[in-house]
Amino acid sequence: MSVKLIQNFIAGKLCHPANADKLSVTNPATGEITGEVALSSAAEVDQAVQAAKTAIVKWATTPPLRRARVMFRFLELLQQNHNRLAEAITKEHGKTFEDAKGEVQRGIEVVEFACGVPHLLKGTFSEQVANAVDAYSFRQPLGVVAGITPFNFPVMVPMWMYPMAIACGNSFVLKPSEKDPSASLLMAELLQQAELPDGVFNVVQGGREAVEALLDHPDIAAISFVGSTPIARIIYQRGTAHDKRVQALGGAKNHMIIMPDADLDQAASALMGAGYGSAGERCMAISVAVPVGEETANALLDRLIPQVKTLKIGNGMEPGLDMGPLVTRTHLDKVSAYVDSGVEQGARLLVDGRGYVVPGHENGFFIGGCLFDKVTPEMEIYKNEIFGPVLSTVRVPTYAAAMKLVHNNPYGNGIAIFTRDGDTARDFVSKIEVGMVGVNVPIPVPVAFHSFGGWKKSLFGDHDIYGPESINFYTRLKAVTSRWPTGIKEGAKFNFPTL
């Protein structure tokens, strides 16, 4: 198999970083090296930023309607290339092709929202706030902005950022994950076909040096990041120290509370999809089941065990699968080590997916679904975000105990409750200290015209991502108070102006 070189995209052209180190890109289903990604230096990052800085001069003053037309053309191209993007995801990330198509679709929905930017950027006007004085406000773009994105959604998460940033009049520099970078260049190609001016969207491949160069660069006004909490905290601290606007979305430990009155068949099905879909490599995956009461727990596990044991696992390009491999051998070893620690610390491993082998794909990075019972908050498998197909069951006696468990957790990204009782659901939605809440919905990712963001250690910064919050993040407000000559003659006034 030929090995492709995955390059940068700067000022409308593919370019290879000079004297760059390279990392191998693998197909997780086979373990084969399919590409090499060049790691950009600070010099290459500066090249991209300068291209974006040059492009912003005209793009920022391009009428929003014309910017929207670019988004409409991009939208059409995305729809035409839906399967092509999904295939690129599956072959480098490993998720099933159907799951990858769903990822692309959720990204497309943000582009659909961006097509409405002329309406979204409308300002406000107040006539005659004082004698012959009018007041109005409007939003203007920040300038050059950047996005640093993770491996688990190589199309969707970048689309959470750049469509709205660009539609708002900014230019953009994307630093995608080095684990699955090919999709970033496909998106750049489609934006170019949509007649986006060169330099408005740029891609720099790379690792730590590229990230640090983006954080420190004086010409970048804002940084968007999605990744683990330790890195999100560093991104936020370093970016804001350089006077940048930063939104840094971190990790999660998402719970699903199952009340005794819940439809347990529905709850079990929801847990299967939310816990094991995309092999658990989702920041909104449910990794902790919290059944209320022993009877609820036993009945739930009776439903889960046979389903976990019969998960259909294989090469993500094959039809009819539930799960593909994990993204890299290193990540497979990390997830397996977490399962080891759960056993060592006394959790009961009901289904053991370690050592899973797919015939014909013996070198792939596979693990089967793992299901734990009798997990306690002190265990590593509860405290840490595993990012794999590992579901932990924490039994609690009451609804109040379930709430306490969640509130004591340092993360606050997503949560779900399954119940038939409206009073319980309403109380839960009102009081739970989590940013995204589902009621009989296992993965409550907001639609594109709302905004996505967790609480506590799951988000650093003041703005959620995409949706209406993206307008606030990618623009700044300007307020104007004006008076035109009207024949009014007034002398100097030395007191603070009031109405």
Residue partners of 211: CB distance under 8 A and separation at least 6 = 148, 175, 235
Among residues 229, 154, 210, the alpha carbon closest in space to that of 409 is found at 229
Q: Tell me which amino acid residue 103 is.
A: E
- Structure tokens belonging to residue 191: 């934006």
Compute the radius of gyration of the chain from its Cα atoms.
25
283 labelled catalytic: yes
C-alpha–C-alpha distance, residues 91 and 182, integer Å: 10
Catalytic residue among 15, 115, 168, 283: 283
C-alpha–C-alpha distance, residues 451 and 168, integer Å: 16
Residue partners of 314: CB distance under 8 A and separation at least 6 = 29, 321, 324, 358, 361
Angle CA 221–226–227, to nearest 5:
130
Q: Is 25 exposed, middle or buried (0-12, 13-18, 19+ CB in 10 A)?
A: buried
Other Cβ atoms less than 10 A from the Cβ of 95: the count is: 31
Identify the bridge partners of residue 309 per DSSP, sorted by sequence position: none
Q: Is residue 369 within 8 Å of 349, Cβ to Cβ?
A: no
Identify the bridge partners of residue 144 per DSSP, sorted by sequence position: 171, 220
C-alpha–C-alpha distance, residues 416 and 388, integer Å: 19
Q: Is residue 423 within 8 Å of 291, Cβ to Cβ?
A: no
Which residues are part of the catalytic machinery?
A: 283
